[in-house]
Structure 1
Amino acid sequence: MNSILFCLPQPRFFHKQPSLRFTQALCLLGAFITSSLPNVSLAAEVPSQVALSQQQTINSDNINQQPTALYLDNMLQLLKPAHSQLGITVWDMTTQKTVFEYNNQSLMQPASVQKLLTALAATKQLGKDFIYQTRLTTLAQQPLDKSLIENGIYSGDIYIEFSGDPTLKYQDLRQLLASLSQLGITELTGNIVLTSEQDSQLQAPGWVWDDLGICYAAPISPFIIDKNCVYGRLATTGYNKVANITMMGNRPIEISNDAYFVTPIVNRPVAKPAVQTLTDAVVLPAYLTESVPQCQLTLSRFDNNRYHLSGCHVGAKSLPLAIAITEPQLYAQQIVAKQLASLGIVHQLPITASIMNTEAQFMAQRQVIASHQSAALPQLLETMLLKSDNLIADSLLKKLGEVYYQAPSDFARSGQALKTILYSIGIDLSNANIADGSGLSRYNLLTPEHVLSVLTTLYQQPEYRFLLELLPQSGVSGTLRYKRYFNKSPLKNHVFAKTGSMLGIANLAGRVNVSNGHDYLFVLFENGLSPQIKKQQKAPFSAVFLQTMMDVPR
């Protein structure tokens, strides 16, 4: 083969002319690739079906001999971050073969990429027709009608059967209770009981304690109303004065406050060296030149859904608040009492809660007054994947465990159920650690290969393929709609993937279509990413790598 100097295409995230050194490096890498493949063209066609049938598996050595693998490996050596840890695997959807691997067997924290496992396991165990149902019932020999109500008084017990529906809203519950008014009921003299079948474990092991007051870490309970989240706003009354908190919806929580706003400090002086040297011109570290005071808000949580906000915030613009309910059962009891009163229905006895009675005699006498149904499972999964909804993910994990064991299930048992369910369809998670369904737990551990197994199952098994269509699309939908460098060319419209982001974690897994006419499934794990380094990055590593993939050779 003639010796040539072949320059690899520069990654498209370089919108400005790259340095001469970088251009020379690309050319040297191109020369290395061409010299390492004396009998292989970079434009080689996909292997024939005969060749594929002779080789059912490709080990790492074989992968590393392919042009795609050489190209990606050498580009990775140029582009990989110096301080964070990477795990990568790429699978060609045309040849249905793995074409690139890097640390693909390393156990790492998946963050919200974990939701891909939850989506698949929930579909397998619960089925596409699954819905959550919240019911208003009573015990009687016949359906409740106006003949059983005397002078507006109903003396039977009323049961509100909660199912852990993560989408149940305040207004949905009110409509259930309004059915009592429609029957002419103005007073209830019996008991009102909130019932459920689920366990009472509200948080998964490994959730970060200071996340627990924030709505993306709302408790996983059978009693969920408006995502167990209340909203408000913190507004300044002037610098260094106690701010005002306004909570929306008049919900039954108490919040006190001594937080305040402060003005940014402008042009804070920095001590100069006593002797002027050439190094005086060097840019000082951010922590020495920072002009904004160190300031943060802290939310403290107490019993009975009481909170206290303290600390400070820099600036004058008001802040939105989203506070997670600490005690969902108490919150639901108080909401029901509040709604009955607003409907003009008198009830003197305390509202209680208990595990649902499933004895045959009870079930035979149960009469449904009204019910509310959630959307079917595919719609729930669409919201979960597009918006990375933690509450839906962990509620579904609890539910699939409950259905699998035919009993209330905590996070540990539900995680084991997920492993068993996925093993039944060919995904071995024996060396993985599953702590929750959302990826919020720091105890979750998966390899890129685990996640690739899920993606290939979605692609290869028609009954699950719809899940690939629910993933966020770069620059178009979900968590990729506005994500930096994914919302513009060349990645816009070409990436369909689940994001996974937490402090120190920037993961991405899904599908990308590239200029060589092939589609690829990929898993990109990046753990140990310093917030300071992330802030300084010109582009996220996942965007850099995928833009490099856009020019994978044929």
Structure 2
Amino acid sequence: MKRRLGTRWAGLVLALALAGVSGCARQRVLTVPDAEARLRADIEEILDNPAFASGHWGVVIQSLRDGHYLMRRNPHKAFMPASNLKLFTTATALARLGPDFRYVTRLFRTGPVVDGVLHGDLVIRGVGDPSITGRYHEGDPLAVFRGWVDSLKSRGVRRIAGRIVGDDNWFEEEILGAGWSWDYESDWYAAQISALSFNDNCVDIVYTPGPVPGSPVKYELIPNTRYVEIDFRVVTVRPGLEKEITYQRKRAANLVRIDGSLPAGGESRRDWFSVENPTRFAAVVFREVLEASGIQVDGNAWDIDDLPDYTYPDSCPVATYTSPTMAEICTAINKVSQNLYAELVLRTLGKQFRDVGSAAKGIEVVKEFVSEIGIDPQELVMVDGSGLSRYNYVTPNSIVTLLRVMRRHPVGRYFYDSLPIAGVDGTLKRRMQGTPAEGNVRAKTGYIENARALSGYVTTADGEELAFSLIVNNYTVPTSLANDAQDLICQRLASFSR
């Protein structure tokens, strides 16, 4: 079966190379209708490949020069968009919050400081900031906490005669998105959602195999915390016999079992797993940083939800942290398809414009925005901000409308710059390399099981900019074939000439 599909696709690639990329000079002598007809025929050949007999495609390709549609297939049908939903979340965030919006996370004390002793608690008030992580601090996830320790020391604090409390009440208690599969719970891309988020609500783990078969595999946790317990069963084996590393976090707990094997003398590798209760995770790690720096903490670390009727004055901040801009955060969301950040931004929209930090209220803001720019809200069924849920449905037409409007929107350049570039960065770094699409296509990828999407912008050989959306659902072949199909279409568009 694989050999037959491979042969079929090899022939298709060759046919497109002859008809499209290598045939550009011949296309230029065709009339415009003939050139467009040839383009549509080439794309339809890709879409109608028997490999996708069980699936269905939604395709819209529109010129941004004059609004003319070069191709439409099922433009108003509903498709699971996967991470293409992030286009709606980030566009709304940039338009409504603004590219210069920043989060401010504050550390409060609940009592006085006397003779170096804080007689009270330290409370971290989270407001949905996703950037308390190594991604924004040269790989050091503890940088913000260390800065707070320095602030405390500058005030002469040597001991906390109270607790460390994490306050996540800025948002509603929605730890997972609607319809998220429980199969995903251990994975970084399904990290729990909290207004107080730290290190992407994950622990990094770096494995280093031993020099010879049977020697121990060493591992390092980042941050190095007692918050998680590791049941480590990875072994060193002879090269060629290694098995995939798998990890599973026990539901509602922080016990993580890790199995598999690594080749002797091989390179280190890095994985990430999610934590249970990220709010308490942040509080625990901050307490560990305090103690490691020489500040004694008498009490334990707590999630505010576990302290009934707990209140504290907000008149005594001792430290703050200000995030990067919303433009930078949206770039992380779209370039690397960061689900947690998208969920936090969605709830920020709800909090800022509906005074409720929930997914539902954030979605109200998104739908209000898309309605204002000419998208029928009925073409957008949205239950989360990231697209991880299979309950989301979007039409290709609505995506291309969003792309077209954002290209000319006052904040459009931030939206455009946030998208992955084919063959260069983000989730498109290894796709379309060495083709006319490399460095040209800027598009958001999307993937959940049996759903693959790619939507964005491409400039033709004539310098005409196009907006496109290519979505396939319900296919049963390897996703690499869906990638191939989308990449071939993008290459054909990049080579298109009227």
Contact 2:250–2:256 (CA<8 Å) still a contact in 1?
A: yes
What residue number does 2:80 align with? 109
Q: For the residues of structure 1 that align with 2:289 and 2:482, how far apart are their CA atoms?
A: 52
What residue number does 1:278 align with? none
Contact 1:259–1:297 (CA<8 Å) still a contact in 2?
A: no
What residue number does 1:527 align with? 473
Q: For the residues of structure 2 that align with 1:183 and 1:551, how far apart are their CA atoms?
A: 63
Q: For the residues of structure 1 that align with 2:146 and 2:350, how far apart are their CA atoms?
A: 29
Q: 2:128 aligned with 1:159, yes or no?
A: no
Q: For the residues of structure 2 that align with 1:397 and 1:301, how far apart are their CA atoms?
A: 28
Q: How does 1:243-392 map to 2 (within 5 A)?
A: 244-252=218-226, 253-260=228-235, 297-310=246-259, 312-313=260-261, 315-316=263-264, 317=266, 319-354=269-304, 366-392=315-341
- Which of the residues 183, 186, 191 maps onto 1:218? 191
The total of aligned residue pairs comes to 464
Q: 2:420 aligned with 1:464, yes or no?
A: no
Contact 1:216–1:391 (CA<8 Å) still a contact in 2?
A: yes
Q: 2:149 aligned with 1:184, yes or no?
A: no
Q: For the residues of structure 1 that align with 2:354 and 2:17, how far apart are their CA atoms?
A: 58
Q: For the residues of structure 2 that align with 1:110 and 1:538, how far apart are their CA atoms?
A: 14
What residue number does 2:5 align with? none
- How far the C-alpha of 1:95 sits from its partner, in A, is 0.9
What residue number does 2:173 align with? 200
Residue 208 to residue 508, structure 1, CA distance change in 2 (3 Å): same
Calculate percent identity across the aligned residue pairs: 24
Q: 2:407 aligned with 1:436, yes or no?
A: no
Deviations 1:315-360 (A, max 9, x none): 55454321111221221221122122123222323333337x9xxx
SS in 1 for 2:377: coil
- How far the C-alpha of 1:191 sits from its partner, in A, is 4.7
TM normalised by structure 1 equals 0.75
Q: For the residues of structure 2 that align with 1:352 and 1:418, how far apart are their CA atoms?
A: 34
Residue 354 to residue 498, structure 1, CA distance change in 2 (3 Å): same
Q: For the residues of structure 1 that align with 2:456 and 2:390, how far apart are their CA atoms?
A: 22
Residue 362 to residue 549, structure 1, CA distance change in 2 (3 Å): same
Q: For the residues of structure 2 that align with 1:119 and 1:546, how far apart are their CA atoms?
A: 23
Residue 463 to residue 314, structure 1, CA distance change in 2 (3 Å): closer
Q: 2:352 aligned with 1:406, yes or no?
A: no
Residue 17 to residue 548, structure 1, CA distance change in 2 (3 Å): closer
Contact 1:231–1:320 (CA<8 Å) still a contact in 2?
A: yes
What residue number does 1:73 align with? 40
Say which is worse superposed, 72-81 or 180-189, in terms of deviation: 72-81
TM normalised by structure 2 equals 0.83
Any gaps of 5 or more consecutive residues in structure 2?
A: 1-8, 21-26, 134-141
Q: 2:447 aligned with 1:447, yes or no?
A: no
Deviations 1:229-286 (A, max 9, x none): 2122345556588855443442221111234466688xxxxxxxxxxxxxxxxxxxxx
Contact 1:128–1:377 (CA<8 Å) still a contact in 2?
A: yes
Contact 2:102–2:326 (CA<8 Å) still a contact in 1?
A: yes
- How far the C-alpha of 1:293 sits from its partner, in A, is 9.7
Deviations 1:3-28 (A, max 9, x none): xxxxxxxxxx9899947x997x99xx
Q: For the residues of structure 1 that align with 2:128 and 2:312, how far apart are their CA atoms?
A: 21
Deviations 1:76-125 (A, max 9, x none): 33222322321110111111232310111221121221111011111233
Q: 2:432 aligned with 1:501, yes or no?
A: no
Residue 248 to residue 354, structure 1, CA distance change in 2 (3 Å): closer
Q: What amino acid is aligned across from residue 411 of structure 2 in structure 1?
A: E
Deviations 1:153-190 (A, max 9, x none): 23244322112211103220221133111111112234
Say which is worse superposed, 430-439 or 445-454, in terms of deviation: 430-439
What residue number does 2:139 align with? none
- How far the C-alpha of 1:298 sits from its partner, in A, is 4.4
Q: 2:435 aligned with 1:489, yes or no?
A: yes
What residue number does 1:6 align with? none
What residue number does 1:477 align with? 425
Q: What amino acid is aligned across from residue 193 of structure 1 in structure 2?
A: V
Contact 1:216–1:390 (CA<8 Å) still a contact in 2?
A: yes
Residue 121 to residue 325, structure 1, CA distance change in 2 (3 Å): same
Q: For the residues of structure 1 that align with 2:301 and 2:427, how far apart are their CA atoms?
A: 40
Any gaps of 5 or more consecutive residues in structure 1?
A: 1-12, 27-33, 35-40, 45-65, 141-147, 266-291
Contact 1:242–1:258 (CA<8 Å) still a contact in 2?
A: no
Structure 1 segments of 4+ aligned residues over 6 angstroms from their partners: 13-17, 292-296
Larger of the two Rg values belongs to structure:
1
Q: What amino acid is aligned across from residue 188 of structure 1 in structure 2?
A: I
What residue number does 1:150 align with? 114
Query: Superposition RMSD on alpha carbons, in Å?
Result: 3.4
Q: What amino acid is aligned across from residue 543 of structure 1 in structure 2?
A: D
Q: How does 1:84-123 map to 2 (within 5 A)?
A: 84-123=55-94
Q: For the residues of structure 2 that align with 1:210 and 1:133, how far apart are their CA atoms?
A: 34
SS in 2 for 1:366: coil
Q: For the residues of structure 2 that align with 1:552 and 1:476, how far apart are their CA atoms?
A: 21
Q: For the residues of structure 2 that align with 1:264 and 1:435, how far apart are their CA atoms?
A: 45
Contact 1:68–1:100 (CA<8 Å) still a contact in 2?
A: no
